[in-house]
Amino acid sequence: MRMLTTLLCALVLGAANPAWADVSREEAATAAARFSGGRVLAVERGVDRDNRPVWRVKVLTGSGDLKVVLVDPATGRAY
C-alpha cells in the first residue's frame, strides 16, 4: 500500500508541474553573457514587471558594473 501511495503521489506531482522552461539555466546564462558581454555570477528563476516567468541572470561587466539581465524562458531572448 505504501508503495502504491508513493507512486500515485509521484504521478500527481509530475502531471501537475509541467516543465517550467524550454530554456535551461545554462542556456539562459549563455544568452545573458552574450547580451551583456560580462561574466555570469548567478542565475535564478524570477518574474518580470508583468508577472511573467523569467530567468534573472546577475552579470559582472568588463567595466566592473553589476547588471541583472532577464531571459525569456520560452524563447531564450535576453533583455
Question: CB under 8 Å, gap of 24 or more: what pairs does 59-64 form?
Answer: 59/32, 59/33, 61/36, 61/37, 62/37, 62/38
Asked whether the whole model's pTM tops 0.85, one would answer: no
pLDDT tens string, the chain, 79 residues long: the values are 665 555 455 554 444 334 567 999 999 999 999 999 999 999 999 999 999 999 999 999 999 999 999 999 999 999 9
- 60 grid coordinates: 559582472
Contacts of 57 (CB under 8 A, 6+ apart): 28, 29, 31, 32, 40, 42, 43, 68, 69, 70, 71, 78
Q: Which pLDDT score, from 0 to 100, does residue 14 have?
A: 46
